[in-house]
Chains A and B, each alone.
Chain A
């Protein structure tokens, strides 16, 4: 069996999810090496997984002839640069979200991808979640009729430290970015305007660094349909991930997934488990599915389901949303593009 050689740039928390999936669950993949700034710290862990090459030099990995595709899971700001280097070397790319923070850099990277003719998939894993896939299928097959409203609830169980928030790009680039993509994925086209209200209700320090911990956004589409998104960085009962779509023929709701479906009854009421704790638990399957999809797109020469343009659009929406919250006014997408 032909195996695809991969190199991973960035072995932080999401990088490790990808590496473990590639090594343990995707027989068609072979992890050739890892590049990480803290190469020494992860060496032992990598060795246990059977990965010998661990370097501090991403370029070394990109130019390794055994590496056919690169997984970029380094901090968001470095993504465009690594996409460009990979494309120049003719390597396919799986890039974690966001594809970048700066539109100019992202466009440059996408140009390079096109010139090189490589495949690029962006890590919007939720598109591969079986629940949201099913909602998408309902919409695509016309079961809901015309789509009028979409409501997305997306609340994290625990906030990042203020230090981490500084380098993550903030709530819009780090958290809402998934919801922006979900809105586009389900609606099947692009919003024309964003209105966002942001607050610091959990910790005022987020506001001090120009970020928010609680945001509500309204996206409007050309045809008048409307999407609402609410985000909180701290939901005391766990990761709250729900989607609802309402249309001419009916509606569909995705509830949270829970560790068990046991229902406990006692004198205080009827209890069910809290949602699965966080993204690693809740979206476990989708991280695997998106990577399997990426590998098979390369091996079978198919177009990935989440493209560079999807990555660009999500960043555009994050920028528009942040601008709207800061300036307290609706922001037209045309202002950003």
Chain B
């Protein structure tokens, strides 16, 4: 810059300076507000939930969680049936999805010919892009009948002595919901597990090979142990997805307010119950109880997500 004193700003420069003086703080403030919204939104959701549910909360208290009653006629409600259904359907879904996701990740990172890797990875991820209502429709018309008419009778004939498979085969039930949830959770668990596998240091793999390991033995020795925290995080994230699914589950689970041992029996989950009563909840206690369910669902999903994110973050850093 010149050593002489700056000349008086010309009109254009003055205009620019004025705009700058407005623009800079404006952008800062606007974007900061947006950032604040991100933080506030979560709190706002929680606050609204618990506020709207307060008639039910004050009426039933925490015992709501342990009560199996869901009786709109007598205005007595409880969440236990749905908590049970949520946990079982999600648990079974992740039970199937986790080894499958690990196997697919091994395939994608070690076994598949290189040209095939990206297309297959994209196809698996596209499973997540299918809208849940379409998956539910497919479940109602195709998967459900297949389960009720073929797979469940088959399981019943061989394994009917186990309570899980003891009930009457039915197209609508826990098993149908669990399988649909498996399809929804699989892409998430697979994509994170695949990322974690890809960060395995090459020197560990070489170390295993140099000891005379077969490819599977190398994966078992060098890849899986190191990936374990990341896999756990991936599974919990998948669990979060499964816990919160309302539409596809309500379409295939039968929406029964009961707890049965058999996987074939109709059941209900928190999210599905909320979805199934969207038209018919009587204002007042009925509605408040539904919102109470939503509040419980919110708490569960936030906890699960926080735990999952912390684990995934830690596994990626190390």
Q: Do A and B bind each other?
A: no
